[in-house]
Amino acid sequence: MIALVTGASQGIGAAIALRLAKEGYTVAVHSSNRQESRQKAEQIAQQCRELGAEAACFAADVSDYAQCDALIKDVKAAYGRLDVLVNNAGITRDNLLLRMSEEQYDAVIASNQKSVYMLMKLAGSIMLRQKSGRIINMASVAGLYGNMGQCNYSASKGAVIAMTKTAAKELGARGITVNAIAPGFIETPMTDSMTDQQKEAILSRITLGRAGTPEDVAA
């Protein structure tokens, strides 16, 4: 079984890649084109291999249609099929609504939302021919409830939830399931930039009294 995990060089995506490797999947470890991320992805792929799984790295900017197309073609060329797509890559560009630039808004929509449409479409066509597949999209509680300073991010994640429901309706009868996960506060490089005050405010609302871990989400 072949699984492609986007944004798997660190954080939640890396934990998902490692968990899938542990479960016996062959893992396509995707990263952005940044050199540092490519190197980190190589380390995650190596850790997957140490768990006994086959793994290789694939770099692409998932906000770009041509690169998404090449990514899915490359994975298909390497393994002949695609069983699981985890749309995990995502960014934040936080700012209050009245200060948010068009650039900040568009960047988040392209990386978090449009990427999910493009990769579901491209992978979905392979899965349709296979008559089987699993697509898992990473949403967020911000897409359900909104979050201060995240007009762009909450819009993108709300859209991911809506797209997931639509794709599930379109593809379910063909043996393909489409689901979304909406994590709360998870400790990763994405949340490292939050201030202690922001973290404490969130933690005070979590009944477990601790942040989630990437491994919690991977499970």
Q: How many CB atoms lie within 10 A of CB 136?
A: 18
CB of 204 to ligand NAP, least distance (A): 16
Report the relative pairing of strands 55-59 and 2-5 from DSSP bridges.
unpaired
CB of 175 to ligand NAP, least distance (A): 26
Q: How many CB atoms lie within 10 A of CB 178?
A: 24
d(CA 119, CA 127): 12
CB of 144 to ligand NAP, least distance (A): 11
Binding site for ligand NAP (CB under 6 A): 7, 9-13, 32, 34, 37, 61-63, 88-91, 111, 138, 140, 183, 185-186, 188-191
Return all residues near 42 (Cβ < 8 A) that are at least 6 apart. Answer: 57
Q: How many CB atoms lie within 10 A of CB 207?
A: 5
CB of 93 to ligand NAP, least distance (A): 11
**25 flagged as catalytic:** no
Catalytic residue among 65, 105, 117, 153: 153
CB of 46 or CB of 130, closer to ligand NAP: 46
d(CA 98, CA 93): 14
Dihedral Cα 185, 191, 193, 199, nearest 10 deg: 20
CB of 139 or CB of 171, closer to ligand NAP: 139
CB of 82 or CB of 89, closer to ligand NAP: 89
- Looking up tokens 């960047």 gives 107
d(CA 169, CA 122): 17
What is the set of active-site residues? 153
